[in-house]
Structure 1
Amino acid sequence: MFEREPIVGTMTAQVAKIVGMRIVSGEFAPGDVLPVESELCAAYGVSRTTIREAIKQLASKRLIEVTPKIGTRVLPFSDWNLLDRDVLAWRLHAQFDSKIVEDIFEMRICFEPRASFLAARHGSDEAFEHIERRYRELATAYTQSAERGTYDIRAAADANLEFHLAIIAVSQNGMFITIGNAIKAALRVSSEMMQRQAAEPSEDLALHDAVRHHIVSRQADAAAAAMTRLLQSSRDRMLRYTVKP
C-alpha cells in the first residue's frame, strides 16, 4: 500500500502525472503491473472514476496497456509516445541525465540547421524582422542581467526558446513547425538548463547572432552551419553538468 500523496489542481491530471512520473523514472519498470484500482484510490485519496480516467490518459500516451485478466501493465520504452508534451516534461524532470540530453540534441541537430537553411532561403522581410526582434529580446535579456549583476535565467531561457521557434516557423516546413510545437517542453527545460550553466553569456549570444546574421543575409548554407555550431556548443555545455545514466 502506498502513502497518500497530496492532489492539487485537476485530480485526474495530477494522478496521471504522479503515476506517469513513477513510470518514466523507472520506479514502475516495463512489464510491471500497476497496483489495482482500489490501492490507487487509497494511495491518492480519489474516486475510482478519477483513477480510470488517469489510466486512460496514460494508455493514450502508450506508457501502459490495460489487458483483461492481467491488469494494467507498463509498456516497453520503445512503445512510449516520446513526443507527447506530458511524457517529455515528466522525463525531463524525473530523469535529466546525459542520455536524454544527447537524445534531445541529436533530434534538434537533425532538423534545426535545415530549418535555418530554409528560413534563409524562403523568409520574407517581415519574417526576418520577426527573427531580428526575437534576437533583440534575447540580447536584452543577457544585457539587462549583466547590468543588474544578476542573471535572470527564466527571462533568458524564454527568449532563447522564442528565437529558435521563430526560425522554425519561418522555415515554412509544416513538419518542422509541428515538431517544434510538440517538443516545446523539451526546448524550454533544456533552455533553462543551458542558461544555468552560461558562465559566459556573451559567447552564447555571439553564436545566436551568427545564426541571425546568416539567415537575414539569405546565406542558407552558412545559416545551417551556424545553427549546427550553436546546438553543438549548447549540447557540450549541458553534458558537462549532467550525470551519466
Structure 2
Amino acid sequence: MLERELILVGTMSSQISNSLGMRIVSGEFRPNDSLPIEGELCQIYGVSRTTIREAIKNLAGKRLIEVSPKTGTRVLPFGEWNLLDRDVLSWRLLAQFDAKIVEDIYEMRQCFEPRASFLAARDGTAEDHALIEHHFRQLARAYEENQPVKVGSESALEFHLAIITASHNGLFVTIGAAVKSALRVSSEMLQRHAAKPSEDVALHDAVRTAIIGREPERAAAAMARLLEASQARLLPLTTAPKGA
C-alpha cells in the first residue's frame, strides 16, 4: 500500500513539476518572482503538501527555483537554469519554439557533432559503423515508403546518436543524451516539412559514407553541411522570439 502511494505521489509531483516548469520557462513566472506558497499550490492542484514538496524539490534540482526560509520559493535567473536538463529543454521547446532556441541548439550541435563524426570515422568500431548503417537504411526507407513522420524522425535521431556513441568520447555521449529531446523535436519538424526528401537522404548518406569509409575530415565537413541545411529548413517554421 505504501509503495502504491509513493508511486502516486511521484506521478502527481511529476505532473505538477511539468506544469510549474512550463509556467516558468514560458515567462508566466519571471526571474525573482515568488511562486505561490505551499498551501495555495495545494489548493490550485488539489494535492497534498508532500506532493507539492516533491515537485518543488524537483524544480530546485533543475535550478529553476530556489527555496529559502526567508524569501520563500523564487524563480532563479535564466543564467542559473540547468539548460541541458532534459525536462528544462523540453519545456523550453514546447513553450517557445522560436528562432533563438533553434539557433542556440544548432550552434551547440555544430560545436560537437562534426567532431563526433570525425572521431566516429577514425575510431569507430565495425559494430559502431554497422549501427550507423542500420539507422541510415531505416531513415532512407522511411522517406522512400512515405512512412509516418515519427518513424523517420526516430531513425534520424538514432542515426545522430549512433554517430555520437561511435565517437567514444564520454562527454559527447553525455551531451547527446542530454539534448535528445531537442534532437527529437527537430527531427520531427524536419520530417513533417521535408520539401525535398531526396536531398535530406543525400546529406545523411554523405555523412554515413565518409564515416564508414574512415575519412574523418570528409565526415566532419559532411555533418557540418547537414546541420547547416537542417537549421536553414527549421528557422522558417519557428515563431518570432519573445520580445522581438
User: What is the TM-score of this pair, normalised by structure 1?
Assistant: 0.93
Secondary structure of 2:233 counterpart: helix
Alignment size in residue pairs: 234
Structure 1 Cα separation of the partners of residues 221 and 215 of structure 2 = 10
Q: Does residue 80 of structure 1 match 2:116?
A: no
Counting only pairs closer than 5 Å after superposition, residues 1-245 of structure 1 correspond to structure 2 as 10-145=11-146, 152-245=148-241
Contact 2:9 2:51 in 1 (8 A): no
What's the CA shift string for 1:62-105, capped at 9, x where partnerless?
A: 00001122110000000000111111111111111111100110
How far residue 211 of structure 1 moved from its aligned partner, in angstroms, is 0.3
Contact 1:33 1:71 in 2 (8 A): yes
How far residue 240 of structure 1 moved from its aligned partner, in angstroms, is 1.2
Structure 1 Cα separation of the partners of residues 110 and 83 of structure 2 = 17
Secondary structure of 1:32 counterpart: coil
Structure 2 Cα separation of the partners of residues 206 and 177 of structure 1 = 25
Give 2:3's aligned residue. Answer: none
Write the letter of the residue equivalent to 2:165.
Answer: A
Write the letter of the residue equivalent to 1:115.
Answer: A
Secondary structure of 1:28 counterpart: coil
Compared CA separation, residues 189 and 8, structure 1 to 2 (3 A)? farther
What's the CA shift string for 1:169-200, capped at 9, x where partnerless?
A: 11111110111111111111111111122111
Structure 1 Cα separation of the partners of residues 209 and 240 of structure 2 = 36
Compared CA separation, residues 9 and 158, structure 1 to 2 (3 A)? farther
Runs of 4+ in 1 over 2 A off after TM superposition: none
Give structure 1 stretches of 5+ with no counterpart: 1-6, 146-150
Write the letter of the residue equivalent to 1:158.
Answer: E
Write the letter of the residue equivalent to 2:39.
Answer: S
Contact 1:8 1:14 in 2 (8 A): no
Secondary structure of 1:86 counterpart: helix
Which piece of structure 1 moves more, 13-22 or 127-136?
Answer: 127-136
Matched-pair identity in %: 65
Q: Cα RMSD (Å) of the superposition?
A: 1.4
How far residue 130 of structure 1 moved from its aligned partner, in angstroms, is 1.4
User: What is the TM-score of this pair, normalised by structure 2?
Assistant: 0.93
Structure 2 Cα separation of the partners of residues 110 and 31 of structure 1 = 32
Write the letter of the residue equivalent to 2:80.
Answer: D
Secondary structure of 2:74 counterpart: strand
